[in-house]
Structure 1
Amino acid sequence: MLGRSEEPLATSYDLAMLDLDGVVYVGGEAVSGAPEHLAAAREAGMRLAFITNNASRPPGRVAEHLRELGIAAEETDVVTSAQAAARVLADRLGRGARVVLLGASGLETALAEEGLVPVLVGDDDAKAVVTGYGPDVLWRDIMRAAVRVREGLWWVASNTDMTIPTAYGVAPGHGVLVETIRAFSGVDPVVAGKPERPLLDETIRRVGGDRPLMVGDRLDTDIEGATKVGIDSLLVLTGVTGLAELVAARPEERPTYVAADLAGLHEAHPAPEAAEQGASLGGWTAGVASGRLTVEGDGSADDWWRVVASASWQYLDAGGEPVDVDGVEPPLP
């Protein structure tokens, strides 16, 4: 069920749409090897777009952070869910429309760039409300906005991420606020960020590319988003997805390619050979015995992940339950 590429992905595709946290950096540090792998991808002719569901920071600040990590990036290389949300609003309402803003500076900047007018929640002439992560958003404004949404004010949400990484650990993300307003109002917002398509569409529009590849670490946002848009995807295992998550992936969450890290951009990607009870590739054979995953052989770490994914998804689709991976340890890259 994985794809096959006889050429390195950096030459098979002309645009890499790169998620940030867990792919390019983790916390405040670059993922090991990421600056070098990305520079090599550019040298191979691949365009790079850095995309994020985080609507709080303007693109210029994101690009500055990337440069501090040794990664070449300009403001125009960064596309955020705030920009995608502003595009959704402008396409429907037109320039000059007044929009209630519940969010941070990244969302305010994106609205202004599209000619929209950010206003306070009590503005009677507002045509919509847009929400995004903002640590300084007041509860009284959230309450007023929720009432206005229930009364019919059009609502666009930058994303529905339930968590956000912080210096003090994983914290509630904007998705928690979305669920609060949704539960109160009974209204579903238009969502701009992954896994919905506006952010990926906006990235292609801004950066260009005829053969885009989504590169991410999250199955339920990055990979599912690529599936919804109908483009290929590369899952890297430097972020939140581990063995337990991979073997339980729903069909829409399954990547085209799997690699341990961004070095996978510079490799051909063979597909495992399916067997009656598993898959084999490059010296590895994976199967399922009494509901438990078994892996035998030797070879590259990437091929290990490929046979495990193929055998596990075959088992999941046949029986409806994920394979037991207790005691199975992936090889080191």
Structure 2
Amino acid sequence: MSLLDYYDALLLDLDGTVWEGGRAIPGAVETIHESGLACMYITNNAARAPQEVAEKLRGIGVDASEELVLTSSQAAVTLARQDFPAGTKVLILGTESFRDLARAAGFEVVDSAEDNPEVVMQGHNPETGWAQLTEATLAIAGGAAYIATNLDTTLPMERGLAVGNGSMVAAVISATGVAPAAAGKPQPVMFQQAVQKLGATKPLAVGDRLNTDIEGANAAGFPTFHVLTGVSGPLALLEAPKEQRPTYLAENMLDLKKNAHQLLPGAQGGFTARINRRDILLERGHAGATSVEALRTVLEVAWAMPEPPELIRPGSAEAEAATDGWWR
């Protein structure tokens, strides 16, 4: 029985999960098609409008409409609209699509702190520079509320991890001493909105970043499926606090087709793990056992410890081979 048989919808992250720098991650599109489940695409990337995201998904072979996309820029506008009426002046650091969403919600979008905006909203835009950050800083210093679409410090690209919105937000925090309200993941709202839109009762959240995708879905009370194709790798998993620990651990989305028991943290691949003072000893292992099988074996033990282990000590040739790439 496949893991997919237990659920009626997939709540899918995009960057690092479905694609990387616009290139489909191997197995992702195939798995989406074969799942037969309703899918909602939930992204913290605020640089694109929902219709642009849907078009990009269709470009890699995924049949998706803009109604099946939720972005953190949408979430930020919704958050701002809860506290500020139509006609409120807002200063936006972000793309034109973000500004369009604010206008559609009834806000008056301005370009300068001199226009006395009541709200500053900041989302990812590769064109954001010193001048825009300064206007935001001046407006916040003047009393404007501060909302960030998300606090992702990095953004997965084909060449590696690029600067994310959270890193740009950090510059404004440094200049003002004001931390923004964050609208996107790890807040649970986007997941809850997605489930409501789909009418799902048994959703499974899929993502690659523990402190956004997994933490946000955990906060919403949904089971989580973590893939090792993006940001958070073995070290992050070993050190993850309880709220960031996924239900299932996978190499990539193809593993959604596996049996649920195979994907849970626990001894597998012939490996054994035990505590030795503050370390974990990983021993034995079948010939051909995989790195992710070793990781699931270790995580069951590591997550039962009061503090993360200091070292993972391989005690066999198989364990040595399986852990070789964990720290790269």
What's the TM-score once normalised by structure 2's chain length?
A: 0.86
Distance 1:56 1:39, change over 3 A: same
Distance 1:64 1:147, change over 3 A: same
* AA at the equivalent of 1:287: R
Q: CA deviation at 1:171?
A: 2.7
Q: 1: CA distance between counterparts of 2:206 and 2:142?
A: 39
Q: RMSD of aligned C-alpha atoms?
A: 2.8
Aligned to 2:19: 25
Distance 1:14 1:109, change over 3 A: farther
**Residue 160 in structure 1 maps to residue 147 in structure 2:** no
Stretch deviating more after TM superposition (151-160 or 98-107): 98-107
* AA at the equivalent of 2:312: D
- Equivalent of residue 57 in structure 2, options 66, 71, 76: 66
Aligned to 1:57: 48
Q: 2: CA distance between counterparts of 1:119 and 1:265?
A: 45
Quick one: percent identity of the two aligned structures?
Answer: 33
Distance 1:230 1:178, change over 3 A: same
Aligned to 1:3: none
Q: CA deviation at 1:234?
A: 0.6
- Equivalent of residue 307 in structure 1, options 297, 300, 307: 297
Q: 2: CA distance between counterparts of 1:14 and 1:113?
A: 32
Q: 2: CA distance between counterparts of 1:135 and 1:320?
A: 36
Distance 1:331 1:260, change over 3 A: farther
**Residue 234 in structure 1 maps to residue 225 in structure 2:** yes
1:242-272 CA distance string (max 9 Å, x none): 2222222221211011122212323331279
Distance 1:158 1:182, change over 3 A: same
**Residue 329 in structure 1 maps to residue 316 in structure 2:** no
* AA at the equivalent of 2:322: E
**Residue 296 in structure 1 maps to residue 284 in structure 2:** yes
Q: 2: CA distance between counterparts of 1:191 and 1:110?
A: 17
Conserved? CA contact 2:92–2:121, under 8 Å: yes
Distance 1:135 1:319, change over 3 A: closer
What 5-or-longer segments of structure 1 have no aligned partner? 1-6
Conserved? CA contact 2:95–2:124, under 8 Å: yes
What 5-or-longer segments of structure 2 have no aligned partner? 315-319
Q: 2: CA distance between counterparts of 1:23 and 1:84?
A: 20
1:113-154 CA distance string (max 9 Å, x none): 323332212354532111111222342232132122123211
What's the TM-score once normalised by structure 1's chain length?
A: 0.84
**Residue 202 in structure 1 maps to residue 174 in structure 2:** no
**Residue 90 in structure 1 maps to residue 78 in structure 2:** no
